Amino acid sequence: MTADRVTADPVVMAGVPTIRGTRITVSSILGQLAAGSTVEQLLVDYPSLERDDVYAALGFAAESMPQGR
């Protein structure tokens, strides 16, 4: 699911990972969640987002982290 929703295009936001078809960056979603926003608040703030987009951003972050032992 992450690959279908998160893209990195050098022409869009200088290649920073974004939600497909938008200029909403994964890092902005993660930052707002870390600051205490809820998924519901994000969906109101960004009407073009879908719930699965937010979960894809979280999945992308998890996949980007090194695996511990």
Question: Is 1's pLDDT higher than 90?
Answer: no
Give the pLDDT confidence score for residue 3 in this predicted structure: 80
Q: Which two tokens stand for residue 8?
A: 């990195």
Residue 18 maps to which CATH number? Answer: 1.10.10.10
Question: Is 68's pLDDT higher than 90?
Answer: no
Give the domain extent around 46: 2-64
Question: Is 31's pLDDT higher than 70?
Answer: yes
Give the pLDDT confidence score for residue 46 in this predicted structure: 96
12 found inside a domain = yes
Give the pLDDT mean for 19-40. 97
69 found inside a domain = no
Q: Which residues contact 20 (CB under 8 A, 6 or more apart)?
A: 4, 5, 6, 7
67 or 21, higher pLDDT: 21
